[in-house]
Amino acid sequence: MHPKRTDKIATGIIYAVVATVVAILVFLIGYILYNGVPDITWHFLTSQAQSFSAGGGIRDQLFNSLYLLLLTLIISFPIAMGAGIYLAEYAKDNWITDIIRTSIEVLSSLPSVVVGLFGYLLLVNQLNMGFSILSGAIALTFFNLPLLTRNIEESLNSVPNLQKEAGISLGLSDWKTITKIIVPEGLPGILTGVILSSGRVFGEAAALIYTAGQSAPSVSYTNWNIFNANSFLNPMRPAETLAVHIWKVNTEAVTPDAHAISSGSSAVLIIVILIFNLGARFIGNHIYKKMTAAK
Amino acid sequence: MDEIQRKLQQNSKATREDHLGRTICYICIGLIIALVTCILYFIASKGIATFTKDHVNVWQFLTTSNWEPTTMDSKGRPIVGALPMIVTSFSVTLLAALVATPFAIGVAIFMTEISAKRGAKLLQPVIELLVGIPSVVYGFIGLSLIVPFIRHIFGGTGFGILSGTLVLFVMVLPTITTLTVDSLKAVPMHYRQASLALGATRWQTIYKVILRSATPGILTAIIFGMARAFGEALAVQMVIGNALLMPKNLVSPASTLTSKLTTDIGNTVMGTLPNDALWSLALILLLMSLFFNMLVRFIGKRGNIKNAS
């Protein structure tokens, strides 16, 4: 065949492939929103889940997801920050760094169900923490750490070396240079990474089934005593998240309106993740513009 | 005099801060290393117990297809054969990668070679959103769309390897695409210029020059995609049917390593054989994940040598 015609045909095929992929995404999002949004009512968002009768809501699950996300970030961000700074600023190019990088890679490629099972073994059983929000948050930290660390390292590495040299030549200590010059400069990238990883954590379920548990005991939202078992803030209570809830109502099939609940919950999940995604873009760009002179 | 001497010999505040900061960073990285070691150690020691404590034959575990951990065979050894799950796991993984790769390469070529501008504006968000959709949502869509669809066409229950493949295809697509884009971008510009200057068409350049020199990168991308497919639990669990049978065809209910783990680990008692056997499945998952990692490193090294010489 004539090369020019082959070129045309190949280009056409590539266009078709791209169109298919875009269509798949549009269809997925459209399907979820079209089916799910009508199910999202005020009642759905603010009432308790029902196990055996129709009409249950997702109030507790939604709150648990957000609370778990918050705790996970509180635990994982400082560690990832330290590790990211180490890799970007202190790590020498030798075999120790090589081992460290390899272990982070290994951790990030572990299936989330294995991470969840490890959490179950270590936190729930060995450390006797039971199915609890705290176990869940730590398991999610395991899952979140490698990605966040790598993201922070990349953001810090993208800061031009000149900035560091300038700081040091002005007589600042290494630590001051890092905390006052490099980290602020890398902040837009770091924030974007944190928000994107929040989306991932928010939708994660496999690591949570056996750490945060699959039940959502009723809690009181007026009880602010964090140590009270009844309080919504108590980190030692079992907590089913939204993603786990979708999985559970679909696999256990005892709830009569499982389909409506899962389409509604899926739509809520997707909307939250869309917000995270758009937010990451917006905040990243906004801060970048504000902090640098770039347009 | 002593006062001044002391002041001069003492570390300044900045130096102390420096040490403190450095120590904190070292502790953080140390934590991560300890965590990885811990995971490897715990899962391995739990997973090996089936073979050391309960005296199950490793070979038998990997090659027989009966899973009845509560019953004993004639030699008094429990019957645990994980072959059906291993076969199913590998089938969905390979099939998903097989289906996803052409799409991923097509999208990647579009994003780097054909229309970089629209690629960045339109397709980058598409890929990011596909990554962002949680796996349970994929599972739910699979359950409410793909499974009935397959039931309609092929009969049977609709659960099975084919449904699993279709769900995983969408899930690994963004992984493979992103990494392929990276490897295509890494092909030096002068390769393209040289090829076009010789009168090659765009497709000839893409096919004969760019894809060839990006092959190690594309292979890496596919392996990462396979690693994701192999370890995916809930989405697959929701559409695979969870029947502990050797898969006869693509539409018969089956069960993967991950789906077996998620459904059963809560129903068994810690330390008993049915539980240990499940941990052995987790160990297989862990080893496969390490294997995929090593494969990536291996390809990376060979690719580098090729580029250097």
Classify residue A18: in a domain, yes or no: no
Range of the domain at A48: 40-291
The verdict on B138 and B231 lying in the same domain is yes
pLDDT one-digit tens code per residue, A162-200: 888 888 899 888 888 888 888 888 888 888 888 888 888
Tell me the H-state helices in chain B: 2-9, 13-52, 58-63, 83-109, 116-118, 124-132, 135-141, 147-154, 161-185, 189-197, 202-204, 211-213, 215-231, 234-240, 257-264, 273-308
Residue B213 CB partners (closer than 8 Å, separation 6+) = B187, B191
Q: Look at residue A53 in the predicted model and tell me its pLDDT.
A: 66
Total domain count, chain A: 1
DSSP-assigned letters across all residues of A58-103: -HHHHHHHHHHHHHHHHHHHHHHHHHHHIIIII--SSHHHHHHHHH
CB contact under 8 A, B28 and A83: yes
The verdict on B19 and B118 lying in the same domain is no
CB contact under 8 A, A114 and B39: yes
Residues from chain A that touch B206, judged by Cβ atoms under 8 A, are 10
Classify residue B209: in a domain, yes or no: yes
Residues from chain A that touch B33, judged by Cβ atoms under 8 A, are 99-100, 103
Classify residue B216: in a domain, yes or no: yes
Q: State the Cα–Cα distance between residues A77 and A85, nearest whole angstrom.
A: 12
> Which among B123, B135, B270 has the least Cβ separation from residue A205?
B135
pLDDT one-digit tens code per residue, B155-164: 778 788 888 8
Q: State the Cα–Cα distance between residues B79 and B66, nearest whole angstrom.
A: 7
Q: Look at residue A51 in the predicted model and tell me its pLDDT.
A: 67
Q: What integer is the mean pLDDT of A120-138?
A: 85
* Beta-ladder partners of B68: B79
Q: Look at residue B106 in the predicted model and tell me its pLDDT.
A: 92
The verdict on B231 and B270 lying in the same domain is yes
The verdict on B212 and B111 lying in the same domain is yes
By the 10 Å C-beta count (0-12 exposed, 13-18 middle, 19+ buried), A43 is classed as exposed
Q: State the Cα–Cα distance between residues A147 and B308, nearest whole angstrom.
A: 30
The verdict on B19 and B140 lying in the same domain is no
> Which among A18, A103, A204 has the least Cβ separation from residue B134?
A204
CB contact under 8 A, B28 and A79: yes
B116 touches chain A (CB under 8 A): no
Classify residue B78: in a domain, yes or no: no
Q: Smallest Cα–Cα separation from A205: which of B164, B224, B235?
A: B235
Which is more confident, A278 or A50?
A278
Q: Look at residue B93 in the predicted model and tell me its pLDDT.
A: 92
Q: Token match 């049915």: residue?
A: B274
Q: State the Cα–Cα distance between residues A54 and A37, nearest whole angstrom.
A: 18
Q: State the Cα–Cα distance between residues B238 and B242, nearest whole angstrom.
A: 8
Q: How confident is the model at residue A1 (pLDDT cuts 50, 70, 90)?
A: low
Q: Smallest Cα–Cα separation from B94: which of B277, B301, B247?
A: B247
The verdict on B33 and B182 lying in the same domain is no
Q: Look at residue B309 in the predicted model and tell me its pLDDT.
A: 39
User: Is-contact B102 A17, C-beta < 8 A?
Assistant: yes
- Domain of residue B280, CATH code: 1.10.3720.10
Q: Smallest Cα–Cα separation from A123: which of B275, B30, B38?
A: B38
DSSP-assigned letters across all residues of A20-52: HHHHHHHHHHHHHHHHHGGG--HHHHHS---SS
Task: Give the ipTM.
Answer: 0.86
Which is more confident, A231 or B204?
B204
The verdict on B177 and B280 lying in the same domain is yes
CB contact under 8 A, B25 and A6: no
Classify residue A25: in a domain, yes or no: no
The two most distant CA atoms of chain B are separated, in Å, by 96
Classify residue B26: in a domain, yes or no: yes
Q: Look at residue B95 in the predicted model and tell me its pLDDT.
A: 92
Residues from chain B that touch A149, judged by Cβ atoms under 8 A, are 32
Classify residue A7: in a domain, yes or no: no
- Structure token pair of residue A155: 């953001």
Q: Look at residue B173 in the predicted model and tell me its pLDDT.
A: 92
Q: State the Cα–Cα distance between residues A6 and A4, nearest whole angstrom.
A: 5
Of chain A, the percentage scoring pLDDT greater than 90 comes to 9
Classify residue B66: in a domain, yes or no: no
Residue of A2, A24, A118 to mutate, testing the B interface (most B Cβ within 10 Å of its Cβ): A118
Residues from chain A that touch B102, judged by Cβ atoms under 8 A, are 17
Residues from chain B that touch A18, judged by Cβ atoms under 8 A, are 106-107, 110, 123
Chain B: residue whose CA lies nearest to A138: B35
Coil, strand or helix at B79: strand
Q: State the Cα–Cα distance between residues A281 and A32, nearest whole angstrom.
A: 23
> Which among B26, B43, B203 has the least Cβ separation from residue A6?
B203
DSSP-assigned letters across all residues of A220-255: BTT---TTSTTBTT-TTS----HHHHHHHHHHH--S
Residue-level pLDDT, tens digit, chain B, 309 residues:
688 888 888 888 888 888 888 899 899 999 999 999 988 998 888 888 888 877 777 787 787 777 777 777 667 677 778 888 888 889 999 999 999 999 999 999 998 888 878 777 888 888 888 888 888 889 888 888 888 888 888 877 878 888 889 999 999 999 999 999 989 988 888 999 999 999 888 889 998 899 988 988 899 999 999 998 998 888 888 888 877 777 777 778 888 888 888 888 777 777 777 888 888 888 988 999 899 988 888 887 776 545 543
Which is more confident, A44 or A26?
A26
Residue B251 half-sphere exposure, CB side, CA atoms within 13 Å?
A: 13
User: Is-contact B143 A251, C-beta < 8 A?
Assistant: no
Neighbour tally for B102: CB within 10 Å: 11
Classify residue A3: in a domain, yes or no: no
Classify residue A232: in a domain, yes or no: yes
- Domain of residue A125, CATH code: 1.10.3720.10
Q: What integer is the mean pLDDT of A190-213?
A: 85
The verdict on B194 and B268 lying in the same domain is yes
Total domain count, chain B: 2
Q: State the Cα–Cα distance between residues A146 and A128, nearest whole angstrom.
A: 26
Q: Look at residue B64 in the predicted model and tell me its pLDDT.
A: 79
> Which among B33, B107, B279 has the least Cβ separation from residue A18?
B107
Mean pLDDT of chain A: 83
B298 touches chain A (CB under 8 A): no
Range of the domain at B16: 1-52
Coil, strand or helix at B78: strand
For residue A10, give the H/E element and its range: helix A3-36
Of chain A, the percentage scoring pLDDT greater than 70 comes to 94
| Residue B12 DSSP one-character state | P
Classify residue A145: in a domain, yes or no: yes
Chain A: residue whose CA lies nearest to B224: A109
The verdict on B41 and B154 lying in the same domain is no
Q: Look at residue B51 in the predicted model and tell me its pLDDT.
A: 82
Tell me: pLDDT of A280 over 60. Answer: yes
Q: State the Cα–Cα distance between residues A143 and A241, nearest whole angstrom.
A: 16
Q: Kindly report the CA angle at B124 between B134 and A82, in degrees rounded to 5? A: 65
Classify residue A126: in a domain, yes or no: yes
